[in-house]
């Protein structure tokens, strides 16, 4: 299973906001520009990601002076599986229905294929693992050091 770049960036945004929420910068909102620079990724792409996270109720955005981003709820209430389900447009591991094929036809094995069920079980197991974690579980403190927000642990 490979997650899209959109989901990857969504998780990075949430981690960044979570680090700030727990760290010394918890009294201010974070800008998209700041996150883009921290991860060296496209600011334009992040705008779309943040918009989607806002639609899902994961982040709150405030415009204007003093504006920026913040978590919409505590990190312990943001489930990783829910984020992945919300940000991934298509969770299908294979295209049995032919939606992405050149001729638009479903796979000829589709009516009798066991692979679809096996992959469905694998996807369910993958999501079950993600459902066992919250954003708070992903915040170890090391992220803050890597983002230059605090001294590394042990210093």
CA 135 vs. chain centroid, Å, equals 10
Residue 122 falls within a domain, yes or no?
no
Total domain count, the chain: 1
Containing structural domain, residue 16? 5-91+134-146
Residue 115 falls within a domain, yes or no?
no
- On whether the pTM is more than 0.75, the answer is yes
Helix (H) or strand (E) holding 68: strand 68-71
Look at residues 5, 6, 11 and name the one whose alpha carbon lies nearest to residue 135: 11
CB 149 within 8 A of CB 24: yes
pLDDT truncated to tens, each residue of the chain (155 aa)? 789 999 999 999 999 999 887 554 556 789 999 999 989 999 999 999 999 999 999 999 988 887 889 999 999 999 999 999 999 988 877 777 766 667 777 777 777 888 888 988 999 999 999 999 999 999 876 666 666 655 444 43
Q: What CA–CA distance (Å, rounded) separates 85 from 126?
A: 11
Residue 20 falls within a domain, yes or no?
yes
């Amino acid at each position: 299973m490979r997650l899209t770049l959109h989901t990857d960036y969504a998780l990075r945004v949430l981690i960044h906001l979570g680090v700030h929420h727990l760290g010394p910068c918890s009294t201010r909102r974070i800008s998209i520009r700041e996150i883009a620079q921290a991860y060296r990724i496209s600011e334009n792409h992040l705008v779309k990601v943040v918009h989607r996270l806002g639609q899902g109720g994961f982040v709150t955005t405030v415009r204007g002076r003093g504006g920026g981003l913040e978590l919409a709820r505590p990190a312990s209430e943001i489930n990783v599986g829910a984020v992945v389900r919300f940000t991934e447009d298509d969770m299908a591991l294979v295209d049995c229905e032919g939606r992405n094929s050149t001729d638009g036809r479903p796979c000829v094995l589709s009516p009798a294929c066991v692979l679809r069920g096996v992959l469905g079980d694998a996807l369910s197991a993958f999501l079950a693992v993600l459902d066992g974690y919250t954003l708070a579980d992903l915040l170890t403190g090391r992220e803050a050091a890597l983002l230059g927000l605090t001294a590394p642990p042990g210093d």
